[in-house]
Structure 1
Amino acid sequence: MPILTKEKFEKLAKFTNKPCVSIFLPTQRLGKDVLEEKDRIQLKSQWKKTNEKLRETGLSQEKIDKMGKPLEDLLGDGDFWRHQSDGLAIFMADGFFEKLTIPVNFESFTYIGEHFYLKPLIPMFSRDNRFYLLSLQLDNVQLFEGNMYSIGEIDIKDLIPERLEDRVGYDYEEKTLQFKSQNPSIGDTTMHGQGAAERDRKNEFLRFFRAVDKGLHEVLKEEKVPLIVACQDYLFPIYQEANTYKNLYTKPVPGNPSDYENILALHAAALDVLAPQFDKEKQDKMNQFRDMNPARTSTSVTEIIPAIFEGKVDTLFLQNREDIWGKYNEDMASVDLQDEPNSDNISLMNLAAVKVIEQGGTVYLIEKEFMPEQDSKMNAVYRY
């Protein structure tokens, strides 16, 4: 599953046209609904309603048909509809079309404006749930970047030796088997009574892992997110000794990476191990909101939006499945709140979320009962 990169997110965020159409659709991975093509039928219905809304804005049917041609082609692509995830997001404008199949269960929703509506994608860019996964085998090393919803491989072939043999200079397979059979459950990196051959073998592993660590430094040197290692148990203590990255996760993904059916299964196993860390960071942020000096927090939309544009907001909590409509005048730093969406206003939640993500902050979509301050749909923690 290709990862939705921040670069692609920022490209969508910066795109402007009139109109920009954003369509979100819940989809099914398998089962009767897939066989009956209910997702395709639902999109067709949603596009028909969007057609009507676009005509109400004064757009000609000719221009609507031109803009919608890629979507009509998608509706006819039977193979596409047989390979879905949990949600489908479509972004379209005159001369622009982007579709994203991602494991987030959206509600059906269409937004027409001068910018794309990206708030439902925000969980994929929460800083707290991003991580690196190192798949570490003696004959194959891979690095992945992931989050709660997706994972993608990073090309590190020019940075590290791919195999232990490439580093130590001779065939290692027979010695590896001997080392493993004599050391089935090594709990630390100190060898006790195993003899010179085993000590040499462990040192070969250590040399290889130090070379891997050195190469990873080029990717990880500015990072602060967890690096979790998937490897056989007896290798992890040795990699810990070689590692210099400060945020190496203390527990590995259990088992040999090659035993997992595919990268999605390995991704799921990594999330199981990382779950306590992610839950803790989110809870820490919520506790921070409650415990911090009131001058460093806010629940007022008219205060928070200007503060975001000043770069003051570190963490933003938004009530999930809700929105706030209105206008923002950046020159005057003024917010005009309105009760309903119309052709002249925008989603202030979308504006706020996209801006905070662009600035490197953290955004959480939270159900009402878990919001730090439940009386407001928008809560913020300031950097200063």
Structure 2
Amino acid sequence: MSIDVVAHEDLVRLTKHRHPASISLYVASPQVGNGAARGAVAHDTETARAKLRAAADEARAQLKELGVAASESQRIGELLAELVGDRDFWGTSARSIAVFASPDGLDAYRLRNELPSHSAVGDRYDTGPLLRATTFPHDGYVLALTEGDVRLVALESDATHRRVPLDELPDDAADVLDVEKHGGGQLDRKRADGTLGPKVEQRRYASIVRDAVLAAIGDDERPIVLAASEDLAPAYREVSGADELLDESIGANPASFDDAELAKRGREVLERHYDAVLAEWRERFRAQQAVHRATSDFDEVARHATAGQIDSLVYDLEHRQEGAIDEFGEVTVAESDGPGTYALVDEIAARVLTTGGTVIAVRGDEVPGRSPVAAILRAQQ
């Protein structure tokens, strides 16, 4: 069931959008039973649709209060009604839906992340929750590979996991490991003396698996943790060619692991990977700060972001102070939230993103300088 991958280009386009009648709607999937856990949208599409309709009605009422023309509000209503009626859209394993609508058009995303229900009205889209979900890197995949058994398990940011179907993997893929089925000959003789056979066959098998994995994940660039038998691990790494394949593997044969155990071990590898990435960034930050090419001063970061001078930004995904940042990067903190305000750190992150910088969302205590933002500046030209 479809999940939408939010590409970098999508984020840039959405954050650049400006129109006085812009609404942003986030709809969480319904809870399962009496517990707090949320299921897939497809498990209760009627409830999910009703939540979107209610949020849309409330947002359009706010547009009316702001003096937006009735024709523009009506156009938004038509776009949302079309989405609500699209049965194919709602048959999804997503845990939340993000919808951005204005008279100019509508964008909707079915997300794996469990984002809370939220709505906003203003002159721009509230991409903050979407931005935080896509720049807080704590998810990925585990690929379990043995002779005759291939599993791809997705590790979601909400600590859940799921099996990813490998529809392009032939049922008889492992047959290539048995050269006797391919007529014998010179290859068999070389395999017998250990000079060629196994490596050739293993690479062939690994290539078939690689193609099936790529077909399953598409443009998804989340990291992949390999869990393979000792003989197949080198072969898969040789043919993979994917930057997403992490250097560290799960150091055990996955044949005896169920998906839950694979997910547990995979998360341990992912955490070490992300910790190393962040540690390297902090080291760069300290080195650049010493030569005045990095800062964690909030006002300075806002000005540099507006001027397109930030190479990379780390920001606190839990910081929710609202306000406004003008075209010069001057910050005004709001006394209360409203249509003319937005989360300041989200706006800074959006400005960095739209000017070609990279953005990483972290927990507050992971940002250097006890600030909600820290930035490494671009080298002077």
Q: Superposition pairs for residues 276-291 of structure 1, below 5 Å?
A: 276-286=272-282
Give percent identity, aligned residues only. 17
The match for 1:364 among 313, 336, 361 is 361
Q: 1:64 aligns with which of 73, 79, 84?
A: 73
Gaps of at least 5 residues in structure 2 are 182-189, 212-220
Instruction: Report the number of matched residues.
Output: 345
Look up the match of 1:96: 105
The answer to whether the 8 Å contact 2:320/2:343 transfers is no
Change in 2 beyond 3 A, CA 1:17/1:48: same
Give the direction of change, closer, same or farther, for the CA distance of 1:207–1:290 in structure 2 (3 Å limit).
closer
Question: Which deviates more from structure 2 when the two are superposed, residues 69-78 or residues 40-49?
Answer: 69-78
The answer (yes or no) to whether the contact 1:253–1:270 under 8 Å persists in 2 is no
AA aligned to 1:362 is V
Within 2, Cα distance between the matches of 1:274 and 1:381? 24
CA contact (8 A) 1:313 1:383 kept: yes
- Map 1:52-201 to 2 at 5 A: 52-75=61-84, 83-126=92-135, 148=157, 172-175=176-179, 196=192, 199-201=195-197
- RMSD (CA atoms): 5.0
Paired residue for 1:303, among 294, 300, 304?
Answer: 300
Residues 1:60 and 1:78: Cα distance change in structure 2 (over 3 Å): same
Distance 2:126 2:235 in 1: 47
Deviations 1:229-267 (A, max 9, x none): 35444300344466777875231597679x988xx9988
Whole-Å separation in 1 of the counterparts to 2:252 and 2:106: 41
Call closer, same or farther: CA 1:36–1:99 in 2, change over 3 Å.
closer
Match of 1:323? Answer: 321
Deviation at 1:377, TM superposition (A): 3.4
Q: Distance in 2 between matches of 1:243 and 1:83?
A: 30
**Please, what TM-score do these two structures have when normalized by structure 2?**
0.67
Match of 1:204 in 2: 200
Match of 2:55 among 46, 49, 65: 46
Q: Secondary structure at the match of 1:50?
A: helix
Cα distance change of structure 1 residues 27 and 176 upon mapping to structure 2, 3 Å threshold? farther
Offset, 1:277: 1.1
Shift in Å at residue 381 of structure 1? 3.8
Deviation, 1:94, is 0.9
Structure 2: distance between partners of 1:85 and 1:299 = 36
Q: For the Cα contact (< 8 Å) 2:322–2:344, is it kept in 1?
A: yes
CA distance in 2, matches of 1:289, 1:21: 36
Given candidates 5, 17, 20, the residue that maps to 2:19 is 17
Change (3 A) 1:144 1:118: farther
**1:379: Cα distance to partner?**
3.3
Query: Is the contact made by 2:96 and 2:112 (CA closer than 8 Å) also made in structure 1?
Result: yes
Question: Which amino acid is 2:273 matched to?
Answer: Q
| Gapped regions of structure 1 (runs ≥ 5) | 178-193, 216-223
- TM-score, structure 1 as length reference: 0.67
Residue 379 of structure 1 aligns with which residue?
374
